[in-house]
Structures are given as C-alpha cells and as structure tokens.
Amino acid sequence: MPVLRPRPLPSSVLLSLVPVASWFIFRPLLDPLPSIPALYSSIGFSIFAFLATIYLVPALGPTFVKARLRGKDLLKYYDKSIPEEELFVPESLGLVAASVYILSLILFIPFAFTMPIREQANVKTAPEGITVSEFPHYQLSVYLSSLLSLLVATILGFLDDVFDIRWRHKLPIPIIASIPLLMVYYAEQGNTNVVVPIPLRFILGKLINLAGPLYYVYMSLLSTFSTNSINILAGINGSEVSQALIIALSVILNDLLYLPWPIGFRIPLHLLGNTTELDFGGVWNAGMSFGSRELVERHLFSLYFMLPLVAVCTGFLYHNWYPARVFPGDTLCYVTGMAFAVVGIQAHFSKTLLLFFMPQIFNFLLSCPQLFGLVPCPRHRVPRFDKDTNLLYPSLAVPLNSDSTTKAFAKTPSKMTTVVVRLFSALKLTETTVDPATGAVVNTTNLTILNFFLLRFGPMNEKRLVKVLISAQLAGSVLAFFIRYALAWLVYDGDRR
C-alpha cells in the first residue's frame, strides 16, 4: 500500500449531486421562466465541474507520475525505510482542473448565447424587472476571446511545468496569454476610458481615456500581475488554490450585489459616518446596478466565469489540502490568475478586483528586492522545515538545504541593498543577520508573506500556516468590500464607467 494513497471520496454524497446539477442545467426550459435563465445552467455546469475535478484528479494522478510529472514534498518527513518511488506526489494536476474548467465554459456557450429557449419553454408570462434571457450577440466574441486567453494560459502553464522555466524568466509570459483579449478588445473598439479618482481629477480630469496603447498596456499588466502574484505566493500545501478560491468567492459576492434580486436592501451607511443611505435592490433596480442593464450583464459575465472556477478549485483543494496528495503545478496559477484578469477587464471592475488581491500585492512588494536582484533569490523561497519539531521556520535567502551559517551576500552588499534590507528589517518584515565584526548585513530571511507570518506569529506547522494565509486573504476581502462600498464615495462619485 503506497504511503500517499489518494484521499477517499464520499461517493454516495457526491453522486447525489448529479440529479441536482441536471435540474439546474435544464431549469431554463421549465415554466415559469426565471429572469436570468442561464444563471441556473451555469450553476448546473459548475456542480458537474466540481464532480469531474474531484474524481478525475486522483484518477489521473498515476498517469502524471508515469510521465515524470511528479515531485517530492519538501516540507514533510518520511521514514527512510519507505522506497523513494512511493513518495512521489503527482505534479501539474492543475491541468486537469483547468481542462474541466474550460470545457465547462465551452459547453455553457449555447445556454448564454441562444434564445430559442423562451419559445421552447412555452412561457405564458414574462418575469418582471430586468431580465437577461440572452446575451447580446457581440458579447459572444468577448466570451470567446476570454476562453482563448484562458486556454493560452493553460498551455503556457503546462509548458512551464514540462520545461521547468526559471521563475524569474517567466514573469512576462502571461502577456502572451492576454493577446487574444487585447486583439478582440481592439477589434470591438472597446471602451478605453478609466474613471479618475476625485483627488486626482484636478490634474487628470474626470475621465482619462487611456487611449490606444496605454489601456492595452494596463490590461496586459493586469494579466501579468494577477497570474504571477498567485504563482509567487506558493510553496505550501493548498496555498495557491485557497487564494484563488477566496478571491473567486469575493468576486462572486461582489457580482451578486448587481443582480435583479426580488428583494430590496437598505444599508445604513450613516453608521459609518457617511451622509447618504445606500438603498438598493429589487427586480428593476438590480442592486448596485441602479437599473443599468449593462451593469447587470457585465456582472453576469463575471459570474459565469467565477462559478465554475470556484467549483474546480474546491474539488482540487480536497486533494491538495495538507498533507497534499497532488500538486497544482504552475498551470492552475496561470489559469486562475488569467480568469481574474479576464473578468476584471471584460466586466470593467479591475480596480475592485485589485482590492481583493491585497495579500498578493503585499507579497509582491515584499518580494521586489529579490525579484529585481537586490537580494539573492534562491530557486525556492518556501519556509524551512524542521523534521524534529515538524514546524516551519523562516527560510534564509540562500540556496535550499544550506545551513543557516551560509552567507547570502558573498561580499559586502551594495549601499542600496543595505538600505532596503535595513528598512524592511526596521518595519519587521524580515530578520537580518549582521556580521558582528564589520557590522555589514550577511543574511536575511526570504522576502515572502509566508516567512513574514512565521516571523510575526512564530514557527508553526504547515497546516496552521496555510490557515493563517487563508485568514489573511479573508480579512483582505472584508477590508476590500469596506473600501469599495463605504470609502469609495469619498474618491468617486456615482460615475462607474
């Protein structure tokens, strides 16, 4: 019996989801027609995507191992008596999740973009309020170009896994994946206006038309950032998938605020010191859409991409949770990152999206000295594992498996490096070792959010560390909603273009 046998599946519970999913998919054909029929189908496909992922990932694991897509978990200790062959964890299984995700989005096309459904359904009364029974036709191109970008991201992620590209070299790769998005955006003569925050308006005016080149640079930078920022916050079991999962859930929660629910809400913003009441909801008002059918459609578009993403991430996390039975590889980071960029760009809420990336932005800023060569950057920057205590400790910016006396800086570091490292150290973001003789910095911990957690909260085991990361991500999303809906009134007026 291998040590790393797949996690067992509660098959009877899972299979009972099949009729539920089928009902959701075909709900649009039943009377009375709901105001957004395709949303039901999207939920149905998402449930199937979840089932496909949770079953296929362990089933295909051995195939990946056989094709040498496998790795050893560096942060675990196994008895030396166990043969090495049994300790390989299948790697790059994110490819399976990505494939299921994209296939479910492809199969969903007829449900979002054709509308003989209403006629077939023989509906007597049309529902009241804003109804989106089919997307306008031009959106099909936008949807397809998004799928193309996701597919390119999948291919590039998998190539990265197979050919093992050095991670500093692959930072610009997601730009290639954003090309289909940009080309179609251009062909569609898309809106390239960005609403300027109030404090900057006296310089820039109310709307800045990042005309032509600049907006496209902005879009490709967004893809690059969202993809890489998840990829560099990796290294412990479940870290990549749980980040993606929480960001996707946050986007979904945000999208739900813009749909025509049959109930109205009133948020007592005056409790937060705001002068206006936030009154929204109802089938005509459609929440934060304030009656704009276009906003409803944009957020539906986003929902259609996020629901199956949550589904495959959940299915994958089941097998990737500590102790991991499979690794996601770069494929999953690339495809989830690209999915966020797609909805941010196409549904026009890129600034709100970036708010959900606060832990990633923090990690990226923290990593900059290593990314840009001021501080040496080892192949892996994961925390250091101590097999005696089974705890993780902050790792040093020296090659893995070196002992702690190895110096990161072979000679005296440059003035710039010393200033940055000392600043980070003063801000308690890192811990440095100083040569007692010369007073020069000889070493520093790796500049990642995971090491930062270990520095601040002390050594902990891997499972606890991933839970801390999840909590930070959740806290970030709560803060993001507060900034977006309570504070944004200070920097933006009602104009949401």
Backbone angles phi, psi at 428, to 5 degrees: 60, 30
Say whether residue 147 binds a second copy (CB under 8 A).
Answer: yes
Say whether residue 294 binds a second copy (CB under 8 A).
Answer: no
Could you say which of 9, 14, 87, 103 contacts a second copy (CB under 8 A)? 103
Say whether residue 341 binds a second copy (CB under 8 A).
Answer: no
Give the residue with the Cβ less far from a second copy, 190 or 287.
Answer: 190
Provide, rounded to whole angstroms, the least separation between the CB of residue 336 and a second copy: 17
Number of residues that bind a second copy (CB under 8 A): 38
Provide, rounded to whole angstroms, the least separation between the CB of residue 165 and a second copy: 9
Provide, rounded to whole angstroms, the least separation between the CB of residue 140 and a second copy: 5
DSSP H or E run through 424: helix 415-426
Give the residue with the Cβ less far from a second copy, 99 or 350.
Answer: 99
Residue 199 burial (10 A CB sphere; 0-12, 13-18, 19+) = exposed
Binding range to a second copy, per CB under 8 A, among 50-58, 132-140, 308-316, 473-481: 132-140
Binding range to a second copy, per CB under 8 A, among 13-21, 30-38, 142-150, 193-201: 142-150
Say whether residue 59 binds a second copy (CB under 8 A).
Answer: no
**Cα(297)–Cα(329) distance, integer angstroms:** 33
Say whether residue 414 binds a second copy (CB under 8 A).
Answer: no
**Cα(87)–Cα(173) distance, integer angstroms:** 31
Give the residue with the Cβ less far from a second copy, 188 or 279.
Answer: 188
- Three-state DSSP state, 3: coil
Nearest C-alpha neighbor of 441 from the set 449, 450, 431: 431
Could you say which of 46, 154, 243, 314 contacts a second copy (CB under 8 A)? 154
Question: Under rule CB under 8 A, which residues in 164-183 are in contact with a second copy?
Answer: 164, 176, 179-180, 183
Give the residue with the Cβ less far from a second copy, 59 or 204.
Answer: 59
Please name every residue paired with 278 in a beta bridge, in sequence order, or none if there are none.
Answer: 267
Expressed in angstroms, the distance from the first to the final Cα of the chain is 59
Say whether residue 26 binds a second copy (CB under 8 A).
Answer: no
Can you spell out the DSSP letters for 118-145? HHHHT-SSPPSS---SS--THHHHHHHH
Say whether residue 62 binds a second copy (CB under 8 A).
Answer: no
The answer to whether 53 and 308 have CB atoms below 8 angstroms apart is no
SS3 content of the chain, % helix, strand, coil (to 5): 55, 5, 35
Could you say which of 144, 283, 358, 468 contacts a second copy (CB under 8 A)? 144
Backbone angles phi, psi at 38, to 5 degrees: -65, -20
Nearest C-alpha neighbor of 353 from the set 243, 478, 232, 250: 250
122: left (phi over 0), alpha (psi -120 to 50) or beta: left
Provide, rounded to whole angstroms, the least separation between the CB of residue 99 and a second copy: 8
Chain CA centroid to CA 159, Å: 20
Say whether residue 195 binds a second copy (CB under 8 A).
Answer: no
Chain positions contacting a second copy, by CB under 8 A:
63, 66-69, 99, 103, 106-107, 109-110, 113-114, 137-138, 140-141, 144-145, 147-148, 151-152, 154-155, 158, 162-164, 176, 179-180, 183-184, 186-189
